[in-house]
Amino acid sequence: MRLEDKIALITGAGSGIGKETALVFAKEGATVVVNDLNEEAGNQTVTEIEANGGNAVFIQADVTDPTDVEKLAKTIIDKLGKIDVLFNNAGISGVGQLHEIEPEQWNKVMNVNVNGVYLVSKYVVPYMMKQKYGSIINMSSCIAEIGLADRAVYAATKGAVLALTKSMQVDYAKYNIRVNALMPGTIYTPFVEDYVSKSANPDATVASIKQRQLSSELGKPEDVAYAALYLASDESKFMMGTPFMIDGGVVNGKLT
């Protein structure tokens, strides 16, 4: 199995991409630490992993709360002895043009999407440095590479995560820690379902999403989960500081 004997922490693993990745990692032999703010959703992920014969534990923590996050990292070390893989996946959306966004909303999206990556990494990295091993996967987005309407704060957070990924990689390479970023396009998860259902014309919204990509389908959580699996495993040992696109051709393809 591709992640045999590995301990993997996935933040925001109660839903969408994080949940699917937790299921895939467990199937490949990892013991998965399922983190989420939402206790019920996190426990449901663990139940599904155990039903498939895998190993997982749920630890509730808010990735924006330093006390929660320090405790999260320490609990994993106390109970499981190491953290091989950290997938900084938890994130929230933010819709609107810059002038429409109130400071409170701006700060909230920044807090979860950027500070969350900083904080969880801050408390996990020292253990990885000590064990001289680790793979960190940061959730960016293909939006970090392109301009997309109505996503000012969200794009700013994902650009920050990509820049942070490269900087972290330089600092921690000497500890045998790899740091890479995932750059998904539109992946049909509750996160996108919510955005589509609240739009004025949901069918037109889905059609316009499809129009900007080469694939005729929207992405699925498993499309990103398998990219995360590759980055988590030692198969990707020569990938360092890389933005890894899984976007149905949004960034690198042009239809006409």
Beta bridge partners of 181: 138, 243
What string of DSSP letters covers 135-192? EEEEE--GGGTS--TTBHHHHHHHHHHHHHHHHHHHHHGGGTEEEEEEEE--B-SHHH
Piece in contact with ligand NAD (CB under 6 A), picked from 33-41, 100-108, 126-134, 197-205: 33-41
Judge whether 68 and 45 are in contact, CB under 8 Å.
no
Q: Which is nearer to ligand NAD, 150 or 234 (CB)?
A: 150
Task: Examine residue 18 and tell whether it contacts ligand NAD (CB under 6 A).
Answer: yes
At residue 253, φ and ψ (nearest 5 deg) are -115, 155
Number of residues that bind ligand NAD (CB under 6 A): 29
The residue within the footprint of ligand NAD, chosen from 3, 23, 112, 137 (CB under 6 A), is 112
Contact 251, 145 (CB under 8 A): yes
Comparison of 193 and 235: residue with beta carbon closer to ligand NAD: 193
Question: Scanning the structure block, which residue is given the tokens 């972290």?
Answer: 168
Residues 35-64 that bind ligand NAD (CB under 6 A): 36-38, 41, 62-64
> Active-site residue numbers?
154
14 binds ligand NAD (CB under 6 A): yes
Does the protein bind ligand NAD through residue 141 (CB under 6 A)? yes
**Residues between 72 and 101 with contacts to ligand NAD, criterion CB under 6 A:** 89-92
Cβ proximity to ligand NAD, 133 vs 218, nearer residue: 218
Tokens of 191: 């996160």
Give the residue from 93, 122, 96 showing the smallest Cα distance to 110: 93
Residues making contact with ligand NAD (CB under 6 A): 11-12, 14-18, 36-38, 41, 62-64, 89-92, 112, 116, 139, 141, 184, 186-187, 189-192
